[in-house]
Every structure is written in structure tokens, then in C-alpha cells.
Amino acid sequence: MVLTNPDHEQRLIRDPSKSRPRVLLADDDRTVRFSLSQALMDEGYEVLQAADGVDLLHLLEFDTVDENWTASADVVVSDIRMPGVTGMEILEGLTSVDWATKVILISAFLDDKVKAQAHEMGVAAVLEKPFPLQALLDAVHRIVPPPELQPGHEARAD
């Protein structure tokens, strides 16, 4: 799979210093997607959800400013087995364009070959379902700390 720079009329423009870290989360299981999203939001992350790999591709934002690929997300969390486009295909496509955003893959159907292949492509973590929620949070925290742990973060007065 080769990813191209799609023409989006509305681009997602963010100033990372003024916004919460963003996680793109793709899982075709609505219950899993909701649970993981809620846990990440409780940690202070902004979460954009995708119901499958095709939806995830639509959420990924490409910007060719200075001929560098940049992401509008700080981390991508994707199920491996999804209709349309798989998590492995997403990872392969991102790797082919030197995408800098880290990817965490999750799946109930893992074997050593898939894990090894994912690590060869530079995946940040591979988690086998069911996994403790804290395992995902720890993996995301290693990539991008929650807002309260980031330099310059001001505590909210809720």
C-alpha cells in the first residue's frame, strides 16, 4: 500500500504547544473503541476514532510543508484485523513514506511472525487482546506523556 497526499479542503491545523496530545484510534469493535477512547480521554488525550482502516486513512493528515511528512497525530493505535485496510497495511504504508508518528498495534490474533514483522517495520508496541488497559496507557505514555506531565502544562481549574 502506498499512501499519497490527499487533497483535503479542510485541513486539521494545530499548534502542538496549545493542544492536548492527539491519538488516532482504529478498531472495528465499537465496544473496544469506546473503552480505549474513554481511558485515553480520562488521561487528557484528544482521541479521534476510526471504525476501520479506511476511516483511519481518512483521519490521517498529510502535510508536505518543506517536503517533510508530518502527522496531525502524536500516536496511532490500530487494531491489526479490520475490514478494508488492516493495521499492518497502515503501518507498512506509513513506513514507506518515513512517517514519524509512532504506531501501536493491538490484536486478538497475534503470532510470533506478525509481531516480528511489525517490529521490523518500526512499530512502537504490539499488544495482544485482551490486554490490561494500563498496558495501552503505559505504551502511549512512553510515546507522548499525558498533558499534566508535559513541560509548560498549566493545571486546569475544573
Distance between CA atoms of residues 39 and 8, nearest Å: 30
Q: Which CATH class is domain 21-143?
A: alpha beta
pLDDT on residue 63: 43
Average the pLDDT over 74-102 and give the result. 90
Going by the DSSP 8-state scheme, the letter that residue 156 receives in this structure is: P
Distance between CA atoms of residues 76 and 27, nearest Å: 11
The highest-confidence range among 38-42, 59-63, 92-96, 98-102, by mean pLDDT, is 38-42
Best CA proximity match to 27, nearest among 39, 41, 37: 37
pLDDT on residue 152: 58
pLDDT on residue 87: 93
Distance between CA atoms of residues 130 and 62, nearest Å: 32
Q: Which three cell numbers stand for residue 151?
A: 513541560
Do 105 and 76 touch, CB atoms closer than 8 A? no
What pLDDT digit, counting tens, does each position of 100-156 carry? Answer: 889 999 999 999 999 999 999 999 999 999 999 999 999 999 999 988 766 655 544
Average the pLDDT over 32-59 and give the result. 93
- pLDDT band, very low/low/confident/very high, at 22 (cuts 50, 70, 90): very high
* pLDDT at residue 157 is higher than 70: no
The verdict on pTM exceeding 0.85 is: no
